Amino acid sequence: MSSKRRRMIFFFLSMLLVAAMVINACGGGDSEPEAADAPAEEAAPAAAEAEESAAEAEEEEEMMEVDLSPSEYPEPQLIVGSREVEKLPLDQILTYKALDSYSEPEWVSELVAEGVLPPVEERLPVEPRVILESGMSDGIGVYGGVWRDFSACPTEGYNRGAGQSAGWFGIEAAAFASLLKSGPIYRRSDSLEPLPYLAKSWEWSEDGYELTMNLIEGAKWSDGHPFTTEDVLFSWEDMIVDSNVQSPKGASAWVFDGEMTQLEVIDDYTFKFVYPVAFPVQSLFQMDEGDFHISPAHILKPLHPKYNSEMDYVDFEAAMPPDKTPVVLGEFVPVEYITDELMILRRNPYYWGVDEAGNQLPYLDEVVFEKGPSGVGRTLSTLAGSADHSNLENPSTFIETLKRAEEDDAHFYVEWGPETLGFSIKLNLSTTLGVKDDRDAAIRELFRDVRFRKAFSFALDRDGISQSILRGPFLRGWAGGLFPGSSYFDRNTVAYYNHNPEAAAALLADLGFEDSDGDGVLNWPADRLASGENLVLALVTSEDAEETQTVGDAAVTLLGDLGVQINVRPLNSAARREMNEAGEWELRVDRDSQTFAVPFTRCRELAPIEREFSFHREGSEPRELLDFEQELVDIALAFCVEPNTDVRRELMAEYNRISTENVHFVGVFVGRYGLAAAKRFKNVPAGMPVFMYNWTWENVMPEQVWVDPSEQIEQLRPGVIPTYESE
C-alpha cells in the first residue's frame, strides 16, 4: 500500500473518531458522562490501531488478488543428437548357459600353446555369462583395439573393499566386479532391478525374509584361483561387517528396523541373506558395483588382522598397493602404473563372459588411463584427440565440445541422455544443529515456514538463469523433487512455483517483512527478530562447479529486487563437506545426486530418514521433522521395501507431489549429461545415459565394445597378460 493512500485512510479515520467524540460529548449516546472528559491524545492510538487494521485488511485483499498457485510444468525439448534408449527384456540382453565351443584372440591362443595359460574352456565357468546378439547395437564384434581414457583421482591401491580408490573415472568399473550390476538397468523393459553378474539368479522365500543367491559356477579370479562363496563370506564378515574396515558401504546399510541382516553360506556357489523384515527389495541395489565389493579371500584373508596378529588395519588397507598387479574379477586388469601419469589395463584372460558365438570377452585388448589433476583434463584430452571418452557434466564445456564434434577431423560424437543433471538451492531445516544465536534460530524458523520457501521459489527466474549458463534447449527450469529424466517422474505431480515476483513479494509481506528503514532491504518483524535488523542470508556455492556460482549470482540479484540481501560465499568441496557436517550454513547451491534420478537405488536419501540427511541433519538433539517431512519419510520407507513396480510408481507420484507442493528444496535448473565417445567404438547402446544408475563405464558394458580392424590404433603393451609372483 502506498504512503499517500495510507495517509488518506489515516485522515479519514481520524475525522470519524473526532466526530464520534463530539457526538458523545453532546449526549448523543449511552456512555457515561465522564467519557466526555477523556484526554484527546487517546484518539491517536485508537486511530493508529484502526489504520493498522485497515492496512492488514487491504494486504489480505491484495494477497487474494495475487495468484499464488503453481504453474504447469512444461514438456522437455529434444536436443539434436539425442536417441531414444532401446529397451529390451533381460532375456534379450544376456543369459547364462554353456555353449558348444569357445574361442579367444589368436595371440592368447599362442600363450595357451606355450603352456602359459590353460585352454579357454578350462578358464571359463560351467555356464558363462552370455551377452546376446539381440542386445547388441552393432552385433558380434572382433578382437583387438584400445580404449584411451583419463583419470583425475589419485590411485591409492586396489583394496577396494577396504575403501581404497583405484582412481575412479572408470578404473574401478573396468577392474572390479560385484554380485549384481545396476548400471545397465536403463536398458531393461521388464523390470527396474539390477542385472545379474557374479550372482546369476536369486529367489525370495514365500514370506520374504530370506533371499537365496546363486553364484556363477566355475568363475576364476585373474590369477586363475576359483571364485566361490568363501570370497563372498570374507567380503561380508571381514570387510562390510567389520567396523574397523572402511568398506564402501558398511554394516549400517544392512540394518532394517534396528536389526542386522545375516548372511548364511549354503554351498560353494549358493548363499542366502536372512532379513529382519519382509521383502527388502531395495537391498538388491546394495549388492551392485561400488556397494558390495567382492574381495579375493585367498589373497587378503591371510593379511587380515583377524587372522594375522602381525597385521593392523592400516597395513591391511594398503595390502594391494598400486605398484603391484592386483587380483581382480573384472574384464581388465591393471598391469602397469606410473604414479600420477599413466595406468595400463590389459584383458583378463580369466574373464567369465562370452558372446553368443562363444568368443571370450572382452573384445578390446587394452585400456589406458592418462592421469591428471582435474576432470576438465578428460574433456580437453577428448577434444585434442588423445582420449576416447568424456562425460559432459559441466554445462560451461558443452558449446566448445559440440563445436569440436562438428569439425571434419573430430574422432568423437556427442549424444545426450535424459534430464538428470540438476542444480538446486537447499535451505537448512535443522532447528538445532549449527544454531549458535537468536539470529540463527530465527533464520531456521523462517526456512521451515512454507511461505518463505515458496517466496524463494517464486523469486527465481529459472529460464533466465538457464539461458545465462547455456543458450539453447540444453537447460530448463526445475521445480525440485524427482528429475524429469527419472523413470518414476510424472509431470502431473509437479507443483511448479515458477518466476512470479508479485507472488514472492506478497508472501514476504504476509510473513511480516517490510522495509521499515527505507534502505531497500526488508527488515525482520518484531515478533520474529526483535532487533528489526535487515533480512540478510548467506548462500554457499562451490569453487569446483562454475554453474553453482552463476546460480548464486542470480539469487543475489533476483532476491535483492525483493529486498532480501544474499551474501555469496564460494567454498571448495572439503570446506563444504565440513560445513555441512557441522550444520553451520544457511543456503547452499548443489549439483544434485542420482537419488532423484533412480530413487529406488538410494531410497533412504529421499527424505530425512538417516541422521546424516543432506539438508536436515540431526545433531546431539533430536530432529524436529516438519509434518510433510514425516509424510515423505513414511513414503520413502514404504518405497524401500515395496516389490511391486506399479505400487512403487504410485508412491513416487505422491512423494513428488508432497515434496514440490511444500518446496522441500528449491530446484533451479535441470539438463542432460552429454556423452562424448569415439566414433570407432561399436556396441555403445543408443541413448546411453552418462549418469543414471551409474556412470558411463558401468552403463556401456565395456566387455561388448569393439573396434573394426581398419580403425584400431596401436596398443602400448601388445601381447601382455597379467602375471603374478609364485607363492
**What tens digit of pLDDT does each residue of 398-410 get?**
889 999 999 999 9
Give the pLDDT of residue 426. 98
Query: What's the pLDDT band for 284 if we cut at 50, 70, 90?
Result: very high
Alpha-carbon span 115 to 113, nearest angstrom? 5
Q: Are residues 223 and 176 in the same domain?
A: yes
Q: Which residue has the cell 515458477?
A: 498
| Residue 630 φ then ψ, to 5° | -65, -40
Task: Report CA dihedral (538, 542, 547, 550) to the nearest 10 degrees.
Answer: 30
Q: What is the pLDDT of residues 39-60, one digit of tens each?
A: 444 445 555 555 555 555 555 5
Tell me the average pLDDT across 308-333.
Answer: 97
DSSP string covering 76-92: PPP-TTB-----B-GGG
Q: pLDDT averaged over the chain?
A: 90
- On the question of pLDDT at 28 being above 70, the answer is no
Q: Are residues 651 and 702 in the same domain?
A: no
Take residue 583 and report the three cell numbers written for it.
550444520
Burial classification of residue 591, based on how many CB atoms lie within 10 Å of its CB (0-12 exposed, 13-18 middle, 19 or more buried): middle
Alpha-carbon span 371 to 154, nearest angstrom? 8
Q: Which residues 6+ apart lie within 8 Å of 416 measured at CB?
A: 79, 81, 82, 672, 673, 674, 675
Q: Which residue has the cell 507431489?
A: 657
Query: What's the pLDDT band for 530 if we cut at 50, 70, 90?
Result: low
What is the percentage of the chain residues whose pLDDT exceeds 70?
Answer: 90
Give the pLDDT of residue 47. 53
Any idea which of 46-55, 293-302, 365-374 has the lowest mean pLDDT?
46-55
Burial classification of residue 513, based on how many CB atoms lie within 10 Å of its CB (0-12 exposed, 13-18 middle, 19 or more buried): buried
- Other beta carbons within 10 angstroms of residue 91's beta carbon come to 11
Give the pLDDT of residue 50. 55
Q: Are residues 356 and 430 in the same domain?
A: no
Q: Are residues 570 and 698 in the same domain?
A: no
- On the question of pLDDT at 468 being above 50, the answer is yes
Give the pLDDT of residue 474. 85
In a domain, 523, yes or no: yes
> Do the beta carbons of residue 354 and residue 360 sit within 8 Å?
yes
Tell me the average pLDDT across 512-539.
Answer: 90
SS in 3 state form for 330-396? CCEEEEEEECCCEEEEEECCCCCEEECCCEECCCCCEEEEEECCCCHHHHHHHHHCCCCEEEECCHH
Q: Are residues 42 and 96 in the same domain?
A: no
Any idea which of 128-137, 414-423, 581-590 has the lowest mean pLDDT?
414-423
| CA-wise closest residue to 301 among 243, 246, 226, 234 | 234
Tell me the average pLDDT across 147-176.
Answer: 95
> Do the beta carbons of residue 513 and residue 532 sit within 8 Å?
no
Pairing of strands 681-682, 587-591: unpaired
Q: From start to end of 475-564, where are the E strands?
A: 475-477, 536-542
Alpha-carbon span 70 to 561, nearest angstrom? 21
Higher-confidence position of 725 and 30: 725
User: b/e string for 622-660 if b means 16 or more Cβ within 10 A?
Assistant: ebebbebbebbbebbbebbbbeeeeebbebbbbbbbbbb
Q: Are residues 361 and 422 in the same domain?
A: no
Q: Are residues 684 and 668 in the same domain?
A: no
Give the pLDDT of residue 144. 98
Alpha-carbon span 330 to 172, nearest angstrom? 9
What is the percentage of the chain residues whose pLDDT exceeds 90?
Answer: 73
In a domain, 63, yes or no: no
Give the pLDDT of residue 431. 95
Give the pLDDT of residue 44. 52
Q: From start to end of 30-125, where are the E strands?
A: 94-96
- On the question of pLDDT at 529 being above 90, the answer is no
Query: What's the pLDDT band for 127 if we cut at 50, 70, 90?
Result: very high
In a domain, 398, yes or no: no
| CA-wise closest residue to 329 among 172, 470, 486 | 172
Query: What's the pLDDT band for 76 if we cut at 50, 70, 90?
Result: confident
- Other beta carbons within 10 angstroms of residue 611's beta carbon come to 12
Any idea which of 13-22, 96-105, 396-405, 636-645 has the lowest mean pLDDT?
13-22
Query: What's the pLDDT band for 31 if we cut at 50, 70, 90?
Result: very low
Q: Are residues 472 and 365 in the same domain?
A: no
In a domain, 717, yes or no: no
Give the pLDDT of residue 19. 41
Higher-confidence position of 598 and 102: 102
Q: What is the pLDDT of residues 638-671, one digit of tens each?
A: 998 887 889 999 999 999 999 999 999 999 999 9
- On the question of pLDDT at 420 being above 80, the answer is yes
In a domain, 27, yes or no: yes
Any idea which of 405-414, 544-553, 674-683 has the lowest mean pLDDT?
544-553
- On the question of pLDDT at 509 being above 90, the answer is yes
CA dist 319 to 159, 230, 555, Å? 7, 19, 49
Tell me the average pLDDT across 605-616.
Answer: 90
Q: Are residues 378 and 443 in the same domain?
A: no
Q: What is the CATH number of the domain that holds 589?
A: 3.10.105.10
> Do the beta carbons of residue 523 and residue 515 sit within 8 Å?
yes
In a domain, 115, yes or no: yes
Instruction: Assign 1 to helix, strand or coil.
Output: coil
Q: Which domain holds residue 13?
A: 3-57
Give the pLDDT of residue 51. 57
In a domain, 84, yes or no: no
Tell me the average pLDDT across 386-397.
Answer: 90
Q: Would you call the peptide bond into 105 cis, given omega within 30 degrees of 0 as the criterion?
A: no
Q: Are residues 377 and 440 in the same domain?
A: no
Give the pLDDT of residue 56. 55
- On the question of pLDDT at 36 being above 70, the answer is no
Alpha-carbon span 103 to 698, nearest angstrom? 25
Query: What's the pLDDT band for 601 if we cut at 50, 70, 90?
Result: confident
| CA-wise closest residue to 146 among 369, 418, 416, 350 | 369
User: Is the Cα dihedral 594, 596, 601, 606 positive or negative?
Assistant: positive
Q: How many domains does one find in the chain? A: 3
- Other beta carbons within 10 angstroms of residue 571's beta carbon come to 17
Any idea which of 330-334, 453-457, 541-545 has the lowest mean pLDDT?
541-545
Q: Are residues 471 and 538 in the same domain?
A: yes
Tell me the average pLDDT across 102-107.
Answer: 98
Give the pLDDT of residue 473. 84
Q: Are residues 200 and 228 in the same domain?
A: yes
- On the question of pLDDT at 440 being above 70, the answer is yes
Tell me the average pLDDT across 625-640.
Answer: 95
| CA-wise closest residue to 159 among 294, 332, 309 | 294
Residue 533 gets which letter from DSSP?
-
Q: What is the CATH number of the domain that holds 335?
A: 3.40.190.10
| CA-wise closest residue to 497 among 338, 301, 660 | 660
